[in-house]
Amino acid sequence: MMNATNALDPRPLPPRFDSPLHFGSVRLASRFNLAPLAGFTNVALRRTIRELGGLGLATTDLVNARAILEGKSKTMELLATRPDDQPLAVQIFGSNADEMVSAAQWLQDRGVPIVDINMGCPVRKVVRTGGGSALMCDPAGTVKLLERVVRAVVIPITVKMRLGWDDENVTAPFFARLFEEVGVAAITIHGRTREQGFSGKVNLEGIRRVVEAVRSIPVVGNGDVKSVADAAAMFQKTGCHAIAVGRGALANPWIFRQLDSWLNTGDPGVRASWNERLDFMERHFRRLVEWRGEHFGCLQFRRVATWYARSLRTGKAIQQRLVLVSSPAMFDEIVEEIRQRGEPADWSERDLSEYHVAVPSGPMSHW
């Protein structure tokens, strides 16, 4: 029987949408997308989350357009996908229009259904190339660049951006209108400025201005959505057509299924159980190994091992072994031990505030 504390609450009334969501020619099965989180949202995690249901579109980590054209092996790993990892947008960054055009064509030729252009990344490595959020500082050049990319391919081109460079330069509504005019198919807007980094609250009013600036393309609201209540506020206060969830999906990979169910029925359903979390960790690990091989798969897993240990409340001793996992055999042994010990008596998914994702911080110039 469903236990009352296991229901997701509160349950605000969901908005109603009359027609399905499309990004250009691509129809999305849900209005909840996975926002790219470089270092995490690789093929292994995407497939494992998709299996839980409710996900509309996933996006790769951002990849350098030039590195695609050079065929760099690390970049090719980021582009790795599987038939069960669809629909997928590949996110590219760069500032050279020729390279962006060629990269989009290259991706189209290999069957990628959507190319997303990153205009939001505040990290120095990206901004100093003139890409990421630096694109927002050169309006004419950036609109031209987008126009060229859109014209060079038939697949939808989308954009992900922040509200602007800083509070004095909230340029996203201006860009959104121009992007729509040159044929961009959808816009995802993280409701913070570049200067804000990841601090402060997401500015829903700013996202609303972007929604109001476009005529008919979908605007995807993004930032700090971790619950049904957050999603309800995002829809209600911004009028956005869809929502992208990043960090909230790492803490709760079931969030897409829950939000999609809430939107369609008013009821988000139940929270994930401790056993489901353990199974999820196992499937994620296997796919990391499938993707990168035993050695690098284990190294990738170490980055998320602490979260899993905390969310399962394995205790320190197991956590310390999990973060040093070096082979599938060792992983299996640890999982067996976690299973033997079983679910802690007072385990609750609500303790997950500890499930923290590190974000770039400190002086902007040091990012």
Ligand X SMILES: Cc1cc2nc3c(=O)[nH]c(=O)nc-3n(C[C@H](O)[C@H](O)[C@H](O)COP(=O)(O)O)c2cc1C
Number of residues that bind ligand X (CB under 6 A): 23
Q: Under a CB-based contact definition with an 8 Å cutoff, are residues 239 and 19 in contact?
A: no
H-assigned helices in the chain: 43-50, 65-70, 73-79, 97-109, 124-127, 139-152, 172-181, 204-213, 228-238, 247-251, 255-265, 274-312, 316-322, 328-341
Considering the complex, state which of residue 62 and residue 143 has its C-beta at the smaller distance from ligand X. Answer: 62
Q: With binding defined as CB under 6 A, does residue 359 bind ligand X?
A: yes
Q: With binding defined as CB under 6 A, does residue 190 bind ligand X?
A: yes
Q: Minimum Å distance from CB 118 to ligand X?
A: 5
From 121, 137, 240, 298, the catalytic residue:
121
Site for ligand X in 8-37 (CB under 6 A): 35-37
Site for ligand X in 123-182 (CB under 6 A): 160
- Whole-Å CA distances, 202 to 193, 209, 233: 9, 13, 11
Q: Which stretch binds ligand X (CB under 6 A): 10-18, 118-126, 268-276, 346-354?
A: 118-126
Identity at 263, one-letter amino acid code: L
Cα–Cα distance for residue pair 130/124, rounded to 1 Å: 10
Q: Under a CB-based contact definition with an 8 Å cutoff, are residues 278 and 305 in contact?
A: no
Q: With binding defined as CB under 6 A, does residue 47 bind ligand X?
A: no
Cα–Cα distance for residue pair 47/53, rounded to 1 Å: 10
> Is 298 a catalytic site residue?
no
Secondary structure class of 17 (helix, strand, coil): coil
**Residue span 76-115 as binding mask against ligand X, x where in contact by CB under 6 A, dash where not:** ---------------x------------------------
Indicate which residues carry an active-site annotation. Answer: 121
Residues near ligand X (CB under 6 A) are 35-39, 61-62, 91, 118, 120-121, 160, 190, 222-225, 245-248, 357, 359
